[in-house]
Amino acid sequence: MSNLLSIGKSAMFASYAAMQATGNNIANANTVGYSRQTVVLNEAMGQMTSVGFFGSGVDVTTISRSYDQFLTQQANNTSWTSSADQAQLDMLNQLQSVFPTGTGGIGYAAGQIFNSFVDVANTPSDSSARQVVISQAQQLATQISAAGQQLGTLQSGVRQDISTQIDTVNAMAQQLASLNQQISNLSGQSQPPNDLLDQRDQLVKQIGDIIDVTPLKADDGSIGLFVGGGQSLVLGSNANTLVAMQDLYDPSKVQIGLKTGGGPPQVVPSSSIAGGSIGGLLKFQNEDLTAASQMLGQMATAIAGAVNQQQALGLDLNGHAGSPMFSVGATRVLNASNNQGNASLSISISDPSQVHASDYKLSFDGTNYNLERTSDGSTMPGSPYTPAQLAAGVTVDGMTVTLNQGSAASGDSFLLQPVSNAAAQMQETLTDPNGIAAASPFTASTGASNTGTATVAGLAAVSAGYNPALTTNLTFTDDNGGYSYTMSDGTTGTGTWTAGQPITLNGSALQLNGVPRSGDTIAIAPTTSVASNNGNAQAFVNLGTTPVVQGSDVTDAYAAVIAAVGVRVQTVTTAAAASSAAATDAETARANTSGVNLDEEASRLMQYQQSYQAAAKILQVAQTIFDTLIQTVSG
């Protein structure tokens, strides 16, 4: 009789436990990170009798957590990758808005300034036409500067976002360390702390969504989290602290550091942080934003350089050589923060049309300096350079690098930025319309007795080395383009003219229309009437289609910038869509194992309810039998 009562009691307890677990599952069906719990039952040891073993009921062994480590880690990894892609994409969409197309773009504004010189070329003395040039120049400088400042704002935003997210990670790391302690304290118990394990797994996922981590389980039940491939963020019940540090070279950029104990923070290499939103932000900062700043700076440097060079080759309305129309941000040499030497270097732009959209890394090995272009990792021609070579100045990629004073220590390095800082500080420096150098320093006239059809199409200085006082008499010696010339300083020479090609004399280029004949003459003399000469204005017009940006004209160069940014956006958009889909699939697979299905739980609840009622019936029957026996014995 007691055995029947025991069986009924154990059955009722088991059914009640199952209903309690099922009810808890239903209650937490929408709780993020909750893993379905199941009561594990085992048959109780039977009782041997002379006629065989009689069952003794059921035992509740444990409350198990539906958990698959592989599926959980797979869901985490894909989620962390998706977070990185989405963070990078969000920033790239903002970056793309800095480079609008159509009439709002920099390419259009640059084209407008060159087009405005058409009216100046037609009427060099027209003040209104000159004022339009000044206005267009101001518009171009403003647009480029605004774009550069927007890029700076994006960089500041990245730094602030990373700092904020680091604070969040540090707070969650402390929580994880505390959970580790609680779980370790319970590791000696026979039953797992399911709720604490769920909370810890959710914290690991949330931390990884911000910064890529590697979790490792220890023997005491705790989980260690490692960043950067091996530096511990959480180890047992101890949590270290992430910090936002200045970049090794550029103080405007941020890198991640890990502070352990009382020592200085150790740098976590950005290349080792692939996942999490911080990983995406670092990739945007170090790749996308850097490339955009360099491309915009290259355009600013090339445009300003080309316009200023052309200005210097002409004469303004006061008869003076033209003064610069634009200025851009200065070149920069950034010393690594851990340099030990006192070397002082500088860079200057020697050929604005040949500057690359890149920074350069200069490193000293104790004997020589190695120069590397960071955009493609290529070593510069002639590198490595001796200190003596750098002291004399080394010219590569349109820039000249000079060691001014001091000496570097072995291992010292420098980041050279010829163009990265150019755009944000670009401005128009010429505000007086009379200062536009529309006139060529020379005027050409054809001889009155010429028999050919040749006329002067243009005459403009092309080299700053011209002598402004020289006159030239040019005589064609045959009908095939042969000519001879005499200059007022006694210089003489001969040459052959080819249709469509200029005749270059005294640093100036003479363009002809028509065909000269033998005996025809052209006289070239210093310009005396700057108000009526349009030679340099015409050269300004031609700049619009001249390859002034490393082999491309301004319009094509800006189109290349838009295309480059667009390709990055499209690439990351595709990657974000793919990683999001992968994360969704992985989470679905995990949820199918660990998540709560309300239909299943409702069905089980009814099953356990019936089981509970049946167990109660066993007790009722046992009680009835017991009462009958008592009555029989008593009677």
Instruction: Specify whether the CB–CB gap between 398 and 356 falls below 8 A.
Output: yes
Residue 437, Cβ density class (10 Å: 0-12 exposed, 13-18 middle, ≥19 buried):
buried
3-state DSSP assignment of residue 344: strand
Q: List pLDDT tens digits, range 86-105.
A: 999 999 999 999 999 988 89
Report the C-alpha gap between 630 and 635 in whole angstroms. Answer: 8
Q: Is the pLDDT of residue 117 over 80?
A: yes
- Which pLDDT score is estimated for 50? 65
Q: List pLDDT tens digits, range 487-530.
A: 999 999 999 999 999 999 999 999 999 999 999 999 999 999 99
- Which pLDDT score is estimated for 386? 95
- DSSP conformational letter for 532: T
Residue 406: left if φ>0, alpha if ψ -120 to 50, beta else—which one? Answer: left
For residue 261, what are its two tokens? 């104990």
- Which pLDDT score is estimated for 332? 95
> Of 58, 28, 15, which is closest to residue 195 (Cα–Cα)?
28
Average pLDDT over residues 348-356: 95
Q: List pLDDT tens digits, range 456-493.
A: 998 998 888 889 999 999 999 999 999 999 999 999 99
Report the C-alpha gap between 334 and 361 in whole angstroms. Answer: 10
Q: What is the mean pLDDT of the chain?
A: 92
User: What's this model's pTM, rounded to 2 decimal places?
Assistant: 0.88
Q: List pLDDT tens digits, range 543-583.
A: 999 999 999 999 999 999 999 999 999 999 999 999 999 99
**Confidence bin at 450 (pLDDT 50/70/90):** very high
- Max avg pLDDT among 20-29, 38-47, 469-478, 607-616: 469-478
Query: Which region among 171-185, 387-401, 500-514, 598-612 has the lowest average model confidence (pLDDT)?
Result: 598-612
Report the C-alpha gap between 80 and 91 in whole angstroms. Answer: 17
Q: Is the pLDDT of residue 295 over 60?
A: yes
